[in-house]
Structure 1
Amino acid sequence: MLKAVNLALLIAYPVAWAAPLMRAGLDLPLFGLSEISVLSGLRSLWQTDMALAAVVTLFALVAPYVKTLGLALVHFGRMPRRGLAALQVMGKLAMADIFLIALYITVVKGIGLARIETAWGLYLFSGCVIASLIIGWRTDRPGATRVT
């Protein structure tokens, strides 16, 4: 079961990256809201702040995907189990990205100059990261000699 869910994450992550995380815009009646995804946010960041874009790319794209690939290698016996500790760190980095998104939403709502709404992609991305953390914990649990 862990193998199947982990392999499904290899598909779910790219979908979550392209899915709308939030809709944002001016808090005025005639202005629509723009959808923001991980990928569109990164595209904008690379044009304005390359250092922050590199950090977000690491947290949102690289860390969760490397962890998922690493867990798959462990599950199929292609990587030793001693690498699980490093993979768990990768999963925690992905959680930092979710925290930053939540912080951004809270700050924008608190200022009151713009309107922001969460979208289904935020829940999908959060679900992927949480599923990956659970898979990692289940794989790394004491006494787990065989991954099912």
Structure 2
Amino acid sequence: MRIALIAALALLYPVAWVAPLLRAGLLPLFGLSEISVLSGLAALWDTDRALAILVALLAIAAPYLKLIGLLRDAIRPLGRASHTALVILGRLAMADVFLVAVYVAVAKGVGVGRVETAWGLYLFSFCVLASLALGHWRPER
């Protein structure tokens, strides 16, 4: 069952990366632009490559590396140190969800534009939290 859940997350993460996390616009009269993890990375790449690389590591590399580690652990148990590394990878992936929440709070507080959360934020958050839960779930061996 654990392997099936890991496989489901491996399929859901790419959907979460292209799904709209936010809808943002400058004025309420104009339409809102949808922002996904990948479109946000593309925009960051044009303005701040170091931040784009950091976000790519937190939002894409860390979660997938953790899934690979969880799959390896499900097939053949890892040692304590390797399992601790997987937990840390999960926490790094959660940092990305936290950053999006901070951006939404700041944008709403400034009051210049309009920001709405979209379904992709919930999907991405679910994937990260499910991955965290799977990291802590180690059946008795």
Query: For this structure pair, what is the TM-score category when the shorter chain's length is used for normalisation?
Result: over 0.9
Structure 1 distance, partners of 2:3, 2:28, is: 48
- RMSD in angstroms over aligned alpha carbons? 1.2
* 4+ residue segments displaced more than 3 Å: none
Q: What's the CA shift for 1:88? A: 0.8
Equivalent residue, structure 2, for 1:16: 16
Q: Distance in 1 between matches of 2:79 and 2:131?
A: 16
| 1:81 shift after superposition | 3.5
SS of the counterpart of 1:11?
helix
Match of 2:78 among 64, 80, 85: 80
TM-fit CA distance, 1:119: 0.4
Letter in 1 for 2:53: A
- What SS is found at the alignment partner of 1:20? coil
Alpha-carbon separation, structure 1, partners of 2:118 and 2:52: 22
Deviation for aligned residue 1:97: 0.4
State the distance in 2 between where 1:59 and 1:11 align: 18
Aligned length: 140
Where does residue 112 of structure 2 map in the other structure? Answer: 113
TM-score, length-normalised on structure 2?
Answer: 0.95
1:7 Cα offset (Å): 1.1
Amino acid at match of 1:28: P
Structure 1 unaligned residues grouped into runs of 5+: none
TM-score, normalised relative to structure 1: 0.91
